[in-house]
Amino acid sequence: MTTHSTSSYRHRRTLTLLLAGLATLGPFSIDTYMPSFPAIGASLHISPLQLQQTLSVYLISFAVMMLFHGPFSDSFGRRPIILVSLLVFVLASIGCVFSYDINHLLIFRGIQGMSAGAGMVVGRAMIRDLFAGHEAQKLMSQVTMIFGISPAVAPVIGGWLHVWFGWHSVFVFLALFGLILFAFCFRYLPETLPEIGRQPFAAKPLLKNYRMVLSNRQFLFLAGTVSFNFAGFFLYIASAPVFVIQHLKLAENQFAWLFIPAVSGMIIGAFLSGKVAGRISAQETIKYAFMLLITAAGLNLGYNLVFPPSLPWAVLPVLLYGLGMSLAMPTISLLALDLYPLNRGLVSSMQGFAQTMLNAGVAGLASPFLSFSMVALAAGMGAFLLLGLFSWVNYLKVKGQEALCTN
């Protein structure tokens, strides 16, 4: 290996780790404090519904700010947006540590959400700034693999921190994690959008670009495919406290029984996505992914209709579903980004907004409504998957119609 190729490899590896670390900020902010739900409720004297609102408020603010992270990065550059957002996240995490009632906790959770999504949104745009075709899919898959570890690791870390030091220590950990990310990004994260490629920051052209993307049916159906597929998976993440503690009868430090299988599926799917990049077409990749998703949802519903929940059978369908979901996700995301090469940050923002707003609905409405029953959770997963499949079929239909009109 030559010196140049060694340097290029190291640069790519560093970029992959940084972008994956930034993407994990969101899952860590969601999953790390879940084992502490009962203790936070008791400490702040709040109901389970009020406690669930700390997740919903985070997700809503996360989604709303996603509309701006991408356009800001299209105008001011990728690097400044990420660094400023990390500093805000650190300060918000410190605020959560010192929250003494539900109102203060909701405020700082909202600020956490506003800042935590920048790395995920801007990171997708950075990948497409630097790479094209199967190279972009490979890097996106590598980031997804590392990102996929976080939902498994986060509740385990959170559970042990809770047992050792109490629930406040979870937010101390998040503040330190954000600070470490800031230090490494300040030192190593490059700027991938040159001055000549930046868009003017003004309300009129920005609104015009929003309308342009929102009027594109291909984008809407691609965003729907990613969002609904992920919602079937996220339903179990949002329901983790009930799923683990009530249905599986496990303790606060045993969330790994759900998260490790679920995330293992995500990692395997992302690995396979990278392996098939450049070998089979995007449509073929997504076809195989939906075959896995349909199998997983069918097995999940069938098992829970017949048997009571027990390990490992209750979590294996979630593993298979995560595999299919992450096999499809990098390819679908790149298809969406390629619709508007000059506005990748905005497209990434819009996709992230759609996905996160749906996740907020899952956390605030679907999870409390369905988590009382394993059968209801399985049916919810299946319903979200059917909506994702509907979106993908309609994307193919619209793409074919527009191709005929062009010819």
DSSP output for 42-104: HHHT--HHHHHHHHHHHHHHHHHHHHHHHHHHHHH-HHHHHHHHHHHHHHHHHHHHT--SHHH
CB 262 within 8 A of CB 318: yes
Q: Tell me, what's the pLDDT at 133?
A: 65
CB 117 within 8 A of CB 27: no
Q: Among all chains, which residue has been given the structure tokens 């069918």? A: 298
3-state class of 107 per DSSP?
helix
CB 221 within 8 A of CB 317: no
In this structure, which topology does domain 11-190+202-398 adopt according to CATH? Growth Hormone; Chain: A; (1.20.1250)
Q: Which of 32, 81, 55 is nearest to 348 (CA)?
A: 81
Q: Tell me, what's the pLDDT at 8?
A: 54
Q: At what angle do helices 316-337 and 133-165 cross, to 10 degrees?
A: 130
Going from N- to C-terminal start, the domains of the chain cover 11-190+202-398
What's the sign of the alpha-carbon dihedral 366, 370, 371, 374? negative
CA gap 212, 207 in Å, rounded: 9
Q: Among all chains, which residue has been given the structure tokens 């759900």? A: 258
Q: Tell me, what's the pLDDT at 328?
A: 87
Reading the block at residue 177, the tokens are 């994690």
CA gap 83, 351 in Å, rounded: 22
CB 78 within 8 A of CB 192: yes
Q: Which of 258, 234, 231 is nearest to 244 (CA)?
A: 258
Q: Note if the bond before 35 is cis, omega within 30 degrees.
A: no
pTM for the full predicted model? 0.71
Q: Which of 58, 359, 60 is nearest to 229 (CA)?
A: 359
Reading the block at residue 185, the tokens are 């990004």
pLDDT, tens digit only, all 407 positions of the chain: 333 444 454 677 777 788 888 888 887 888 788 778 778 888 888 877 777 788 888 878 887 887 788 778 887 888 888 899 999 999 999 999 998 888 888 999 999 988 888 877 787 778 877 776 667 767 777 776 676 677 667 777 888 888 888 888 889 999 999 999 999 989 888 887 777 777 777 777 778 888 888 888 888 999 999 999 999 988 888 888 788 877 777 766 667 777 778 878 888 887 788 777 777 787 888 899 999 999 999 999 999 898 888 788 888 998 999 999 988 888 888 888 888 877 777 787 788 788 877 887 887 788 888 878 889 999 999 999 999 999 999 999 888 877 676 66
Q: Terminal CA-to-CA distance of the chain, rounded, Å?
A: 46
Q: Tell me, what's the pLDDT at 251?
A: 65
Reading the block at residue 84, the tokens are 């400023």
Number of other residues whose CB lies within 10 A of the CB of residue 114? 23
Q: Tell me, what's the pLDDT at 94?
A: 94
Q: Among all chains, which residue has been given the structure tokens 């009571």? A: 308
